[in-house]
Amino acid sequence: MLNWSHFIYFAVVAVICWTAGAYLSFRERKTGAVYAWTILGLAVFFSFIVGLWISFERPPLRTMGETRLWYSFFLPFAGLITFVRWKYKWILCFSTLMSTVFICVNLFKPEIHSKTLMPALQSPWFAPHVIVYMFCYAMLGAAFVMAVYLLCCRKDKDVTREMLLTDNLVSVGLAFMTFGMLLGALWAKEAWGHYWAWDPKETWAAITWLCYLIYIHLRLKQDADRRVILYVLVIAFCCLQMCWWGINYLPSAQGVSVHTYNME
Amino acid sequence: MWKRPWTYLEGAVIGAGLVATGEILQLSVGEVAWNLFAYPLNVLLAAVFVSAIILAFVVRKRVYFFRWCATVQAAIPIMVWCAVLTLVMGLSGWMSMLRWWPLVLCYTFMMFVLGMTCLKRLRPFSFAFMLNHGGLFVALLAGTLGNADVQKLRMEVRVGRPEWRAIDESDNSIKELELAVELHSFTIDEYPAKLMLVDNETGKAVPAGKPEQIVIEGSVTGGMLMDWEIEADSCMEMAAQVTDGENKVKYVEWKNMGATTAAHVTAKQRETGEMKEGWVSCGSFMFPYHALKLDERYSLVMPEREPKRFASDVTVYTKAGTVKDAVIEVNKPLEIDGWKIYQLSYDETMGRWSDTSVFELVRDPWLGWVYAGIFMMLGGAICMFVSAGRKGSEQKETLKTSESC
Ligand code: HEM
Q: What is the mean pLDDT of residues A37-52?
A: 95
B240 lines ligand 1 (CB under 6 A): no
Out of A16-20, A114-118, B102-106, which region has the weakest mean confidence (pLDDT)? Answer: A114-118
Out of A249-258, B1-10, B185-194, which region has the weakest mean confidence (pLDDT)? Answer: A249-258
B91 Cβ neighbours under 8 A, 6+ residues apart: A250, A252
Q: Is the peptide bond before B5 cis (omega within 30 degrees of 0)?
A: yes
Write down how long chain A is. Answer: 264
Q: Is B87 on the interface with A (CB under 8 A)?
A: yes
Contact in structure between B193 and B296 (CB atoms under 8 Å): no
Report phi then psi at A108, rounded to 5: -100, -10
3-state SS, residue A121: helix
Q: Which residues of chain B are within 8 Å of residue A239 when distances are taken between CB atoms?
A: 87
For the cut 70, the answer to whether the pLDDT of residue A263 exceeds it is no
Q: Check residue A251 and give its pLDDT.
A: 65
Q: What is the mean pLDDT of residues B133-160?
A: 94
Contact in structure between B230 and B220 (CB atoms under 8 Å): no
The reply to whether residue B389 touches residue A168, judged by beta carbons under 8 angstroms, is yes
Q: Check residue A115 and give its pLDDT.
A: 67
Higher pLDDT, A29 or A101: A101
Instruction: Provide the pLDDT confidence category of residue B388 given band limits of 50, 70 and 90.
Output: confident
For the cut 80, the answer to whether the pLDDT of residue B316 exceeds it is yes
Averaged confidence pLDDT in chain B:
89
B119 lines ligand 1 (CB under 6 A): no
For the cut 50, the answer to whether the pLDDT of residue B392 exceeds it is no
Query: What stretch of H or E contains B108?
Result: helix B101-120
Q: Answer left, alpha or beta for residue B93, where phi above 0 means left and psi between -120 and 50 means alpha.
A: left
ipTM: 0.85
Find the CB nearest B75 among A89, A207, A217.
Answer: A217
Burial class (CB in 10 A: 0-12, 13-18, 19+), B285: middle
Out of A212-216, B129-133, B277-281, which region has the weakest mean confidence (pLDDT)? Answer: B277-281
User: Atom 37 (ligand 1): residue with closest C-alpha?
Assistant: B392
Q: Check residue B397 and give its pLDDT.
A: 44
What gap in Å lies between CA B142 and CA B49, rounded to an integer?
12
Q: Is A87 on the interface with B (CB under 8 A)?
A: yes
pLDDT tens per residue across span A202-247: 999 999 999 999 999 999 987 778 899 999 999 999 999 888 777 7
The reply to whether residue B330 touches residue A122, judged by beta carbons under 8 angstroms, is yes
What gap in Å lies between CA B104 and CA A181, rounded to an integer?
22
A221 lines ligand 1 (CB under 6 A): no
For the cut 60, the answer to whether the pLDDT of residue B393 exceeds it is no
Task: Output the CA angle A27-A168-B76, nearest 5 degrees.
Answer: 170
Q: Which of A105, A102, A180, A104 is nearest to A137 (CA)?
A: A180
For the cut 90, the answer to whether the pLDDT of residue B383 exceeds it is yes
DSSP letter for B297, please: S
Out of A57-66, B50-59, B238-247, which region has the weakest mean confidence (pLDDT)? Answer: A57-66
Q: Is A83 on the interface with B (CB under 8 A)?
A: no
3-state SS, residue B340: strand
Amino acid at B366: W
Q: Which residues of chain B are within 8 Å of residue A207 when distances are taken between CB atoms?
A: 83, 86-87, 90
For the cut 90, the answer to whether the pLDDT of residue B10 exceeds it is yes
Distance of CA B170 to CAs A190, B151, B176, B357, Å? 21, 8, 15, 21
Among A167, A220, A223, residue to substitute to test ligand 1 (most atoms within 8 Å of Cβ): A220
B331 CA: distance to closest CA in chain A (Å): 5
Burial class (CB in 10 A: 0-12, 13-18, 19+), A220: middle
- For the CA of B120, the nearest atom of ligand 1: 16
Q: What is the mean pLDDT of residues B243-252?
A: 86
* Torsion angle, alpha carbons of B280, B282, B284, B290, to 10: 40
B79 lines ligand 1 (CB under 6 A): yes
The reply to whether residue A85 touches residue B377, judged by beta carbons under 8 angstroms, is no
pLDDT tens per residue across span B74-101: 999 999 999 999 999 888 877 778 899 9
Which long-range contacts link B332-335 to residues 24+ away (Cβ below 8 Å)?
B333/A190, B333/A193
B245 Cβ neighbours under 8 A, 6+ residues apart: none
Write down how long chain B is. Answer: 405
B191 CA: distance to closest CA in chain A (Å): 8
Task: Output the CA angle A98-B214-B275, nearest 5 degrees.
Answer: 145
Q: Check residue B396 and give its pLDDT.
A: 46
Contact in structure between B309 and B317 (CB atoms under 8 Å): no
For the cut 60, the answer to whether the pLDDT of residue B246 exceeds it is yes
Instruction: Provide the pLDDT confidence category of residue B390 given band limits of 50, 70 and 90.
Output: low
Q: Is A179 on the interface with B (CB under 8 A)?
A: yes
Nearest residue in chain A measured CA to CA from B361 = A193
Contact in structure between B52 and B113 (CB atoms under 8 Å): no
Higher pLDDT, B278 or B93: B278
Task: Output the CA angle B98-B103-B106, nearest 5 degrees.
Answer: 140
Nearest residue in chain A measured CA to CA from B385 = A172
Instruction: Provide the pLDDT confidence category of residue B171 given band limits of 50, 70 and 90.
Output: confident
- For the CA of B71, the nearest atom of ligand 1: 10
What gap in Å lies between CA A70 and CA A73, rounded to an integer?
5
What gap in Å lies between CA A215 and CA A147, rounded to an integer?
12
pLDDT tens per residue across span B177-232: 999 999 999 998 888 888 999 999 888 888 877 778 888 877 778 888 888 999 99
Q: Check residue A248 and give its pLDDT.
A: 67
Instruction: Provide the pLDDT confidence category of residue B132 given band limits of 50, 70 and 90.
Output: very high
Q: What is the mean pLDDT of residues B366-390?
A: 93
Q: What is the mean pLDDT of residues B348-367?
A: 89
Q: What is the mean pLDDT of residues B371-396?
A: 82
Q: Which residues of chain B are within 8 Å of residue A88 when distances are taken between CB atoms?
A: 404-405
Q: What is the mean pLDDT of residues B268-273?
A: 90
B378 CA: distance to closest CA in chain A (Å): 6
Amino acid at B288: P
Out of A76-85, A104-113, B69-78, which region has the weakest mean confidence (pLDDT)? Answer: A104-113
Chain A, chain B: beta-carbon pairs less than 8 Å apart? 159
Out of A17-31, A186-200, A238-252, B55-69, which region has the weakest mean confidence (pLDDT)? Answer: A238-252
Percent of chain B beyond pLDDT 90? Answer: 59
Instruction: Provide the pLDDT confidence category of residue A78 given band limits of 50, 70 and 90.
Output: confident
The reply to whether residue A178 touches residue B377, judged by beta carbons under 8 angstroms, is yes
B98 Cβ neighbours under 8 A, 6+ residues apart: A198, B32, B34, B89, B104
Q: Check residue B318 and give its pLDDT.
A: 93
Averaged confidence pLDDT in chain A:
85
